[in-house]
Structure 1
Amino acid sequence: MTRSSDARTPLPAFQLGIILFIQAAEPITASVIFPFVNQFVLESGVTGGDERKVGYYAGIIGSLFFLSEFVTVLFWSRLSDRIGRKPVLLAGMVGLFVTILSAGLSKSYAAFALSRCIQGAFNGNVGVAKNVMVEITDSSNIADAFSFLPPVWTMGNTFGPLIGGELADPGSRWPGTFGKIPFFIEYPYFLPCATASFFALLCSILGALVLKETHPTKLAEKRQSNLAASRRDYGSINNESVEEYPAAEDTSSAADASSPSIRSVLIQPIVISLTTHAFQAVTMESFRTLLPLMLSTSIHLGGLALSSARIGTIMAIWGFCNGGFQLVFFARAIRKFGPKKTFGIAYGSYAICFALYPIMSYFAKRANGVDAKVICVLVVQLSCFVLGAMSYGSNQLFIIAAVPGQNSLATVNGLTQMVSSIMRSLAPSISSSLFSLSVEHNLLGGYLVYLIIVLTIMVGLYAASRLPDKIEGGR
């Protein structure tokens, strides 16, 4: 990333757009199964017809995805240092295309889980896209570039379930058309998976045609190759030009040295930034897990007893609002308040989100339903979460600024994604289990889970106080 203290550099809109388009494929293919995974588990027979076990087996599928991502993310990042960013990104897109298509053709629980597991492995190259974003920006416009990430992921996580919900079991939904095709009767979840896989395939084709390589070493090799070719063509030899780029052996050495050890990059600023990233990831994923759980739970157990359709509508509206807010206000907040203040305010707002759950439940119990007071509290809660989502982008800026050198970028981004993956694999099971325990044993009136998470956020805010007041090129 080129450092600049001058006026903001214009964003490379076309290349940034291609990278964001590729990024969108990952949340779409990851979330397309959410609306029908529980039904698939039940129909697969793995539960023996016991509906109470569905959540357990569905949770295993979700955990396998993120655990596979955790295991492979550093491999992809370091591989991109050796062979370049572009081939690794394209391999990931092709892998997503094949694996989500395979999931749609699965009949058994084991086959579906295996497909999901392999899909998570290919999804591990998500950190490589962030490397590209860093390499095509500088310190004057990187906040603007990263402000597009939350909207892209939000939109992907909105459209994925929308595709899965609308296109699942087309034979039953449209008996006059798809119902007459035996294939869609035999494979009821192929259509949504195929639609999502087509998007991944489109990304791979588009990337192959127009995405440019950004790795500095690979760019130097290309320039050196072009220079050598021009010398052969024109016979002009200039000693000064010969030394402008490293020799082939030196370039190879640079590539070998471009993947430093994990221990060498774990300097204090990186450790602090990764710690706050871990708190942010587990908090955000806990909220995403508890929101639909609380909204669907019976009122007397502390929920709102909303239907799946209403929950889907709420989450879709929330997703669009979140994406638009991040796009409009994130970069402005960074320039006005700086990354540290932005992170502190945003992450602190998560505490309000969780503290509002008991209040919302209290009003729902009094009204024995969802009245205007409950809706007002829900709107405030989701607004606070939209503000809290700014903590993701601001924390990314600290991580990038703390990278000790260009050759460490892929390793650090790989570590960041590993931390995110392991937190996202643990948060759903931990938060939902705490919710069940709190309700089942009436711990703190059934609200103990929210107190524990709020206290966790307080610890995260303490960790955030160790972040530097300014980052290079920032406030």
Structure 2
Amino acid sequence: ALLVSLNVVDAFHLNVVWPMLPFLVARDVGVKARDVGFYVGVCGAAAPLGAMCGAYAWGRVSDAHGRRPALIAGCVASTISVYAFGTATTTTRAALGRFLSGLANGNAAIVKTYVGEITTKVSAGRAFGVLALGYGLASAAAPGVGGYLQRPAERWPRAFAGTVFETYPYLLPMVVASTLTFVGAVLGWVFLPETASFTLRRRQEERRRQRGADASRGEAKRLVKLASAGELQTFADDHDDDDEVADGVVDVEDTRTLQKTPTEEVLFTPETTIAVACYALLAAIAIGYDELIPVYLKTDRDMGGCGFSPSDIGLLLIAGGVTLLIFQLTLYTRICDALGAVRAFRFGVSLFAGISILAPFASLAPNNTMLWIIALTSQCVKICALGIGFVSITIVVNNSCEDAVKARVNAISGSTSAFARVVSPVVCGWMFSMSMRLQDVVPFHQVAPFVFISVVA
């Protein structure tokens, strides 16, 4: 339950800003309506860019000092970093705030490592399915919080007019996000134990170091005695490696350690490389779609969008999150058990490729009822398809490596997916802006970015 709550916090940070970004960018001086999509993409790319820069360092901290302290430190850092975005009034400051949030928190990879170490391959599907419930909960709550609580001085002037929340209209949702991470840090400090796998490895390393130290002290005493007797040179000439091993100076376990495969080969097995690449591509198309949807929904009907308000966008995203919760509770485990992790991943990505083309046709609906039906259907099916894909590929990545390097493998996976998340929002935002420029030239121009995402999927 505690790991699920930490996953909730991480997903909350990722999703809370999407309903705010189009309106923050649109109010920035000098940003034209047709260019909003591009600048939203730049801001959306800033967080994964920060995560890419910090993910491997967080993985090394986790492997060296333990999963528990790394998770708590990530929560504390996130508690502080979110205020950089909350106090942003320009696109540049918003992008900087998102970068700091990504840099300060490596919990996504560490939580997956923790779950991978406390489960078997048989139980991993159910465990990661439950973990995905946390993501679904955050996906349901975060967009609503971001859409409903932004610009509170305009909504509730009696309570917020003349306060800091009028100066910084996007601060209130980030205060909620900061509170969640602080609670997560406290709960982790009080209740979260270290994994048995890491604890066992730490004890084995300490025993090896202790045996090496004892052997060194014994050898030093013997050399002192030989030197006192004038026999040190004779000893040096006659002594060989076999005698040293027999005397216990070289431990058998240490010899086996020296014969192990180099770290690079352990980290980058063919299976791990393929799994990490698949994870990165899935992350790219997922964040590209998630960045496009609020911009497309906000865009006016005469430009090919849906003309949604912030509360409409939040309501649609909440509906998708609730659908994911129900799906993970009822169907995902059955799909994973029936297909296996690899085939379930293929199924989820194929389903996403098909459904991602549906959303842009909502703007062509003859009435608002049909518009909402198309938008809700595409959002709900999309989020379930991505749920299948992400949970399945996470299981594959964890099963492809040993526990001793699992945090670094997940960190590398996080870094590569972060790089994909840096590139994808910018590319998709640029494509959306270009499609808006072609509205008078190309029919169904709003479909082009979504077709691109579908082809990549």
Same fold (TM over 0.5): yes
| In 1, Cα distance between equivalents of 2:178 and 2:333 | 32
How far the C-alpha of 1:338 sits from its partner, in A, is 1.6
> What SS is found at the alignment partner of 1:90?
helix
8 A Cα contact 1:65 1:119, kept in partner: yes
Work out whether 1:31 is the aligned partner of 2:24: no
| In 1, Cα distance between equivalents of 2:203 and 2:66 | 12
For residues 217-245 of structure 1, give each alpha carbon's deviation from its aligned partner in whole angstroms, at most 9, with x where no partner exists: 4345469999xxxxxxxxxxxxxxxxxxx
Query: Aligned pairs, how many?
Result: 411
For residues 24-71 of structure 1, give each alpha carbon's deviation from its aligned partner in whole angstroms, at most 9, with x where no partner exists: 11222343333444555566x6x3576666555444332221101011
8 A Cα contact 2:18 2:294, kept in partner: no
| In 1, Cα distance between equivalents of 2:180 and 2:256 | 36
**Who is 2:448 aligned against?**
448
**Who is 1:126 aligned against?**
108
> What SS is found at the alignment partner of 1:34?
coil
How far the C-alpha of 1:380 sits from its partner, in A, is 4.1
Instruction: Label 1:49 to 1:311 Cα distance change in 2 as closer, same or farther (>3 A).
Output: closer
**Who is 1:62 aligned against?**
44
| In 2, Cα distance between equivalents of 1:301 and 1:99 | 36
> What SS is found at the alignment partner of 2:122?
coil
How far the C-alpha of 1:123 sits from its partner, in A, is 2.1
For residues 94-125 of structure 1, give each alpha carbon's deviation from its aligned partner in whole angstroms, at most 9, with x where no partner exists: 00111113443456765554433221112233
Work out whether 1:21 is the aligned partner of 2:21: no
Match among 182, 189, 208 for residue 201 of structure 1:
182
Instruction: Label 1:148 to 1:217 Cα distance change in 2 as closer, same or farther (>3 A).
Output: closer
Work out whether 1:381 is the aligned partner of 2:365: no
1:42-441 residue pairs with structure 2 within 5 A? 47-48=29-30, 56-105=38-87, 112-179=94-161, 182-214=163-195, 216-221=197-202, 261-262=263-264, 264-299=266-301, 301-357=303-359, 360-362=362-364, 364=365, 367=366, 369-372=367-370, 374-389=371-386, 390-403=388-401, 405-441=402-438
Q: TM-score, normalised by structure 2?
A: 0.78
8 A Cα contact 1:437 1:443, kept in partner: no
Amino acid at match of 1:398: V
How far the C-alpha of 1:80 sits from its partner, in A, is 0.6
Q: What is the RMSD computed on CA atoms of the aligned residues?
A: 3.5
Instruction: Label 1:54 to 1:256 Cα distance change in 2 as closer, same or farther (>3 A).
Output: farther
How far the C-alpha of 1:376 sits from its partner, in A, is 4.5
Amino acid at match of 2:189: A
Structure 2 residue runs of 5 or longer lacking an equivalent are 208-250
Instruction: Label 1:183 to 1:339 Cα distance change in 2 as closer, same or farther (>3 A).
Output: closer
Report which structure shows greater RCO (CA 8 Å, sep ≥6).
2
Could you say which structure has the larger radius of gyration?
Answer: 2
Instruction: Label 1:251 to 1:105 Cα distance change in 2 as closer, same or farther (>3 A).
Output: farther
| In 2, Cα distance between equivalents of 1:251 and 1:40 | 59
Amino acid at match of 2:397: I
8 A Cα contact 1:259 1:410, kept in partner: no
Instruction: Label 1:30 to 1:450 Cα distance change in 2 as closer, same or farther (>3 A).
Output: closer
Structure 1 residue runs of 5 or longer lacking an equivalent are 1-16, 227-248, 458-475
| In 2, Cα distance between equivalents of 1:272 and 1:349 | 21
